[in-house]
Amino acid sequence: MAMTDKTKGEATGMPTLHKIIFGVLLVALIALPFFVYPVFAMKVMCFALFAAAFNLLLGFGGLLSFGHAAYFGGASYVAAHAAKVWGLTPELAVLCGAAAAGLLGFVIGSLAIRRQGIYFAMVTLAFAQMVYFTALQADFTGGEDGIQGVPRGDLFGLFSLSDNLALYFFVLAVTFGGILLLYRIVHSPFGQVLKAIRENEPRAISLGYNVNRYKLIVFTLSATMAGVAGATKSQVFQLASLTDVHWSMSGEVVLMTLLGGMGTIFGPLVGAGIIVTMQNYLATFGAWVTIIQGVIFVIGVLMFREGIVGVLARWFKRPL
Amino acid sequence: MFELLGVPPQVLLGQLLLGLINGSFYAVLSLGLAVIFGLLNIINFAHGALYMAGAFVAWMLLNYLGIGYWPALIVAPLIVGVFGVVIERTMLSRLYHLDHLYGLLLTFGLALIIQGLFRNYYGISGLPYQIPAVLSGGQNLGFMFLPNYRAWVVVASVLVCFATWFAIEKTRLGAYLRAATENPTLVGAFGVNVPLMVMLTYGFGVALAGFAGVLAAPIYSVNPTMGEQLIIVVFAVVVIGGMGSIMGAIVTGYMLGIVEGLTRVFYPEGSAVVIFVIMAIVLMIKPEGLFGRTA
């Protein structure tokens, strides 16, 4: 997708503005659980990481995956299974989930990158549906019930995470770390090549870059980080369910990224915050949530393609 | 009675018929997608929702206005088609100058809205729709029982697919359409009203989805979620066939329906994913699709 790119000065490390924003964000997040329900805050953070991972692929790689629920939900199943059946500690369970998502992303990605544009989107969606059916039928996933009652375990086998506040800081460390890692990837030489491929693929090829290898790497990275988000979510809610692998979850992450601003650093975080908050407050209205999400999609595509952070970045003339 | 690999022929033929029926829906829906894609270059994510809307419109015509199945077979697709024209004029036409992915995102949003609205008003339990009297009952073929309505679904879908193929590949209007697919600017310069053609093409494509919905109404209960699973399978069908050719979309649709039916006989656990597995294999061997022209 063509997007304006105003990032400057990547070579000289993180711009001061970004440092300030990340700093303020971290302070706010440390204070947050004392003001809002920690589980809700953890949900927002998991989805923020999920959207940021998705944005790596769409916003910076220019690849629209319509099946990211497969990695998010797949990892949540694996992590839940690892924690419940294998009795692994939370950090190892999350790593297992992330590894599984990365592997799945590598396999699906290597097939999907054989097609471009809307075909790519359809292929990823179809494979994600295959993962959904597998989750529905396989033995270890528990079918319609999902995996329930996942124990929260002890971090490194030492610190109990059964308390919401303790778990909150674990989730904060994982998701914030994940988002910083994604930031680093975007601003690395690898990220620059990625943007070059997004802007002009034939030219990148003619410059000697193995475009497909870059696409596969970014796809796998994005799937892995989506997996970290999904695995963490399963530890928070002590549950892995079909909702996480359903196609509507793939749609939601697209919506979060679109609303917040594709190809921006902070957009997916803003988008995730808004959508999760909205779902929380409108949960009693049933299908209206779906309708409102659809309306946001339509309005977003028709007149608000830069997203919230995209507009702010244009106003302040700074990459955000 | 003969048996094939330990499977009684009744089961085999029954599943083959079921596969052929599913294939009929795959064919009509992927045909609509291919027609729309050819001229507009977008993937209509709302196709499943409009298929569902077609079934609901038929149900509403019957229950609110007393209009029966046969008129509904014409009227419901027309209503869905007009709705499609409105969508094209008010929304899609604003996106043609952008990346085609935006069309996908827009129609995805529309699908959410349409499905959500029907779910709000009609719930998800499904509404019954009677098989028309003429087509109730069935034929005993000796080796199996063939319900008349199911036979009609196959016949009707083949007729519609053939008519569409004929109109696009063999008529003068179809020639304009194919020319506009290749080069809309040049066709416009020859005095053909391309925007009008684009509008009608989208209307026709979604009317096909509405038609499939009316056909489906008596078989499956009329349900707001009836389109969402189906459309993803149809996407896989489209990837396998490639959207370059009209005939390709039709043939792939029927073929995959039958393959799915056979899988249900010999390996039931795999029937839900067999089409996706085939898609993976096709992507490995012939990424542009069986009938595709460009990658």
- pLDDT at position B17 is 87
CB contact under 8 A, B95 and A295: no
Taking CB atoms and an 8 Å limit, are B119 and A290 in contact across chains? yes
pLDDT tens track for A64-106: 999 999 999 999 999 999 998 898 888 999 999 999 999 999 9
Chain A CB contacts of B239 under 8 Å are 115, 119, 122-123, 126
Is-contact B148 B138, C-beta < 8 A? Answer: yes
Q: Which residues of B touch A298 (CB under 8 A)?
A: 91, 106, 109-110, 113
CATH label, B13-124+143-285, candidates 3.30.450, 1.10.3470, 1.10.1760, 3.40.50: 1.10.3470
Q: Are B269 and A137 in contact (CB under 8 A)?
A: yes
Cβ-based contacts of A296 with chain B (< 8 Å):
109
Per-domain boundaries in chain B: 13-124+143-285
Residue B273 CB coordination number (10 Å): 23
pLDDT one-digit tens code per residue, B117-143: 998 888 888 888 888 888 888 887 777
**How far away is chain B from the Cα of A69, in angstroms, using its nearest Cα?**
14
Is the pLDDT confidence value at B215 over 50? yes
pLDDT score recorded for residue B293: 65
- pLDDT beyond 80 at A186: yes
A21: in domain: no
Q: How far is CA B42 from CA A113, A122, A289, B35, B275, in A?
A: 19, 12, 26, 10, 22
From the candidates A4, A65, A130, which should be mutated to test the interface with B, based on the most B CB atoms within 10 A?
Answer: A130
Q: How far apart are CA B178 and CA B174, in angstroms?
A: 6
CA–CA distance, B285 with A156 (Å, rounded to integer): 46
8 Å CB contact of A287 and B116: yes
B110: which chain A residues are within 8 Å (Cβ-Cβ)? 294, 297-298
Residue A28 lies in a domain: no
The angle formed by the CA atoms of residues A37, A309 and A216, to the nearest 5 degrees, is: 90
What total number of domains does chain A contain?
A: 1
Is A180 part of a structural domain of the chain? yes
* pLDDT at A8 exceeding the cut of 50: no
Cβ <8 Å between A129 and B269: no
pLDDT above 80 for A5: no
Tell whether the model's pLDDT for residue B101 goes beyond 90: no
Helix, strand, or coil here: B19?
helix
- Model pLDDT for residues B130-186, shown as the tens digit of each residue: 888 888 888 877 777 888 888 899 999 999 999 999 999 899 988 998 888 888 889
CA angle B12, B16, B21 (to 5 degrees): 150
Closest-CA distance, B249 to chain A, in angstroms, reads: 15
A2 with B287: Cβ contact below 8 A: no
Q: Does A117 touch chain B (CB under 8 A)?
A: yes
Give which of B106, B232, B278 to mutate to test A binding, by max A Cβ within 10 Å. Answer: B232
Residue of A108, A116, A125 best to disrupt the B interface, most CBs of B under 10 A:
A125
Minimal C-alpha gap between B131 and chain A (Å)? 30
Q: What is the b/e burial string over A102-118, where b = at least 16 CB atoms within 10 angstroms of the residue's CB?
A: bbbbbebbbbbbbbbbb
The radius of gyration of chain A from alpha carbons, rounded to an integer in Å, stands at 19
Residue of B nearest to A117 (CA): B101
Query: What's the pLDDT at A244?
Result: 92
* Length, in residues, of chain A: 320
pLDDT for B154 equals 92
Of B100, B115, B276, which is closest to A130 when you measure between CB atoms?
Answer: B276
Please indicate, yes or no, if residue A266 is contained in any of the structural domains.
Answer: no
Quote the pLDDT of residue B2: 55
Q: Which residue has the tokens 């204070």?
A: A31
* Min Cα separation B135/chain A (Å): 34
A171 is a domain residue: yes
Residues of B in contact with A115 (CB under 8 A): 239, 283, 287-288, 295
Is the predicted pLDDT of residue A10 greater than 70, yes or no?
no
Domain residues for A74? 38-246
User: Using the beta-carbon criterion (under 8 Å), do A288 and B102 form an inter-chain contact?
Assistant: no
- Helix or strand run (H / E) with residue B147: strand B145-147
CA distance A242 to A224: 19
Closest by alpha carbon to B211, among B73, B114, B33, B86?
B73
Q: What is the pLDDT of residue B56?
A: 94
Could you report the per-residue pLDDT of B255-291, keeping only the tens digit for each? Answer: 999 999 989 888 888 888 899 899 888 888 888 888 8
Determine the Cα–Cα distance for residues B213 and B223; give it in Å rounded to an integer.
10
Interchain contact A290–B (C-beta under 8 A): yes
Q: What is the pLDDT of residues A192-203, one digit of tens each?
A: 999 999 999 899
Distance from CA of A80 to the nearest CA of B (A): 24
Segment A20-65, tens digit of pLDDT: 999 999 999 998 888 889 999 999 999 999 999 999 999 999 899 9
Q: What was the ipTM of the complex prediction?
A: 0.87
Q: Does A54 touch chain B (CB under 8 A)?
A: no
Write out chain B residues lying below 8 Å of A117, CB-based.
100-101
Percent of chain B with pLDDT over 90: 43
| CA A51 – CA A53 distance, rounded (Å) | 5
Per DSSP, what are the bridge partners of residue B138?
A: B147
Residue A213 inside a domain? The answer is: yes
A288–B contact, CB cutoff 8 A: yes
Domain annotation covers residue A211: yes
Beta-carbon count within 10 A of B146 CB: 15
Q: Is A316 within a domain?
A: no
In whole angstroms, give the CA distance from residue B289 to residue B37.
15
Contact criterion met (CB < 8 Å) for A125 and B105: no
**Structure confidence at residue A148 as a pLDDT band (50, 70, 90):** confident
- Cβ under 8 Å to B: A residues 190-229: none
Of B101, B116, B284, the CB nearest to A288: B116
The overall average pLDDT reported for chain A is: 89
What's residue B59's pLDDT? 93
* Cβ density class B56-73: b for 16+ within 10 Å, e for less: bbbbbbbeeeebebeebb
Angstrom distance (rounded) from CA A110 to CA A103 = 11
Q: What is the mean pLDDT of chain B?
A: 88
* Mean pLDDT, range B226-247, rounded to an integer: 87
**Is A122 close to B235, i.e. CB distance below 8 A?**
yes
Q: Does A3 score more than 60 pLDDT?
A: no
Which pLDDT score, from 0 to 100, does residue A42 have?
Answer: 93
User: Strand pairing partners for A312?
Assistant: none
| Distance between CA atoms of residues B65 and A190, nearest Å | 62
pLDDT at B1 over 80: no
A11 touches chain B (CB under 8 A): no
Shortest Cα distance from B99 to chain A (angstroms)?
6
Task: Kindly determine whether residue A64 and residue B239, on different chains, have CB atoms separated by under 8 Å.
Answer: no
Provide the terminal-to-terminal Cα distance of chain A, rounded to the nearest Å. 18
Residue B42 phi, psi (nearest 5): -120, 155
Q: Do B101 and A129 touch (CB under 8 A)?
A: no
What pLDDT score does B162 carry?
94
Record: contact B109-A301, CB cut-off 8 A: yes
CB contact under 8 A, A291 and B228: no
